[in-house]
Amino acid sequence: MGDFADYARKDFENKKVVDGVNNEENDVQFNVEDAKAFDAENAAAASTPVTEANAPVVATSSASVTLGRGLDVGTANLVSSFQDNGGNVNLKIQRNAFIDIDCDDYTRNMLTRLGVQYVVVNGRMVVVGDPAFELANIFNRNTRRPMKEGMISPDEADALPIEKMLLETLLEKPQQPGEICYYSVPAEPIDADMNVVYHQGVFGGLLKGLGYEPKPLVEGHAVVFSELAEDDFTGIGISCGGGMFNVCVSYKSIPALSFSTSRGGDWIDRNVANVLGISASRACGLKEKGIDLTNPQGREEEAVEIYYRNLIAYTLKNIKERFESSSSMPNFPDPISIVCAGGTSMIGGFTEVFQQEFEKIQFPLAVKEIRLAEDPLYSVSKGCLVAALSESV
């Protein structure tokens, strides 16, 4: 891995905005029968340039972009990133979910009229991404998920072809053979009997099949590189994902402690669904509609608040215990920052509840602030991009 700590420090304070969203359909070959193209959402990224445009630049049909890609492989969302020649970070996001429906002419025509894109896999019509989530809410069904608890799902036979389709759409072909793509992987979980070897190998293989040189980066570490440049990459980065919470304690860019827990946004959804008697997809929609954890209204919002608070307390407890039991922790001379990223951290009142639970324990480090990432949903992908750009110079 390149020395991307120094690399990332350059020009982190400048702001540039990429305008425009490209929703144009393209014909994409997915190697499944009767495939229709679908586009991931292009984020109009009001984001920080990762660095000056001094990495190698290649020309595309629309613009010049620097070599190197970042990819956040999340349970709930997939996010890709690259940097154009102007130093702007460009992002694409796709919900990592699908739903299968009956394959008949009526349904096909209805989806076409509504502009809902689909593919046909094994004789079933498959709607992917945000439309799948919306259809699941309408019919009170659960979406199918290629990933479970932060890793490729062992319960989904269609997981690999669906992920291959999504990656082809998000990343497209490399600008040159062997272009570096850093992709996020979870740290080893401390509360589940599983490892990340197979998951890391699967996504490495998918990226290699697309023509990239895949390189893994632990998810919490990616948050550190994306968010803690001004702190000399010292502090705690927490990726609050759908399948897992990933934690990295870093000192001057070097991870002193990394681990994950098997509880995340999906754990909240499942438990809220159980106590309210609704589907997990509907519980997720309830969570995302605009709840304020500091002021829950009614039984449904109270259920969400209870499980969020429990999850945050559980995470803090494990950070404290792991830190106190480790014999290789560095001496932090100054108070550090805790930065939370990921979709699960975006609910209203998250940092306030985090602060409340933090004050209940005797944390072993002096902490100067607890804050959200600048762009929580894109933070991990941007951290992976920093790593990729540093090796592409």
Q: What is the CATH number of the domain that holds 348?
A: 3.30.420.40
Both 278 and 359 in one domain: the answer is yes
Flag whether pLDDT at 317 surpasses 60.
Answer: yes
Q: Is residue 135 part of a domain?
A: no
Flag whether pLDDT at 332 surpasses 60.
Answer: yes
Q: Tell me the β-bridge partners of 128.
A: 98
Both 329 and 245 in one domain: the answer is yes
Both 193 and 268 in one domain: the answer is no
State the distance between the two ends of the chain, measured CA to CA, in whole angstroms: 12
Indicate whether this model's pTM tops 0.85.
no
- Residues contacting residue 335 through CB under 8 Å, at least 6 positions apart: 365, 366, 367, 368
Q: Is residue 224 part of a domain?
A: yes
What's the pLDDT score for residue 19?
32
Q: Is residue 277 part of a domain?
A: yes
Both 205 and 275 in one domain: the answer is no
Both 224 and 267 in one domain: the answer is no
Both 277 and 294 in one domain: the answer is yes
Both 56 and 179 in one domain: the answer is yes
CATH classification of the domain holding 210: 3.30.420
- Tokens, residue 81: 């990133």
Residue 101's nearest CA partner among 152, 138, 64 is: 138
User: Hunting for tokens 């402690």 — which residue is that?
Assistant: 257
More confident residue, 139 or 130: 130
Residue 20: pLDDT band by 50, 70, 90 thresholds? very low
What's the pLDDT score for residue 26?
30
What's the pLDDT score for residue 101?
80
Flag whether pLDDT at 39 surpasses 70.
Answer: no
User: Hunting for tokens 């014909």 — which residue is that?
Assistant: 27
Both 174 and 296 in one domain: the answer is no
More confident residue, 161 or 7: 161
What's the pLDDT score for residue 60?
41
Q: What is the mean pLDDT of residues 353-379?
A: 95
Encode pLDDT of 192-241 as tens digits. Answer: 888 889 999 999 999 999 999 999 999 999 999 999 999 999 999 999 99
Q: Is residue 77 part of a domain?
A: yes
Both 42 and 190 in one domain: the answer is yes
Q: What is the mean pLDDT of residues 316-340?
A: 90
Q: Is residue 382 part of a domain?
A: yes
Flag whether pLDDT at 44 surpasses 50.
Answer: no
Cβ-based neighbour number of residue 302 at 10 Å: 14
Both 224 and 207 in one domain: the answer is yes
Alpha helices in the chain (DSSP H): 4-9, 105-113, 130-138, 159-171, 197-209, 219-227, 265-276, 280-288, 298-325, 350-358, 379-392
Residue 349 DSSP symbol? T
Give how far the C-alpha of residue 110 lies from the chain's centroid of Cα atoms, to the nearest Å.
32
Encode pLDDT of 255-306 as tens digits. Answer: 999 999 999 999 999 999 999 998 888 888 888 888 999 999 999 999 999 9
What domain range is 253 assigned to? 235-372
More confident residue, 102 or 48: 102
Q: Is residue 255 part of a domain?
A: yes
The overall average pLDDT reported for the chain is 81
- The fraction of the chain above a pLDDT of 90, given in percent, is 49
What's the pLDDT score for residue 134?
78
What's the pLDDT score for residue 41?
54
Encode pLDDT of 76-115 as tens digits. Answer: 889 999 998 888 999 999 888 888 887 778 878 878 887 7
Q: What is the mean pLDDT of residues 326-348?
A: 91
Residue 77's nearest CA partner among 198, 240, 200, 234 is: 240
Both 216 and 84 in one domain: the answer is yes
What's the pLDDT score for residue 126?
84
What's the pLDDT score for residue 393?
64
Q: What is the mean pLDDT of residues 241-260?
A: 92
Flag whether pLDDT at 7 surpasses 70.
Answer: no
Q: Is residue 112 part of a domain?
A: no
Flag whether pLDDT at 53 surpasses 80.
Answer: no
Q: What is the mean pLDDT of residues 60-89?
A: 84
- Residues contacting residue 272 through CB under 8 Å, at least 6 positions apart: 278, 283, 286, 287, 300, 303, 304, 307
| Pairing between β-strand 179-185 and β-strand 69-73 as defined by DSSP bridges | parallel
More confident residue, 127 or 239: 239
Question: How many domains would you assign to the chain?
Answer: 2
More confident residue, 191 or 104: 191
Both 215 and 297 in one domain: the answer is no
Q: Is residue 52 part of a domain?
A: yes
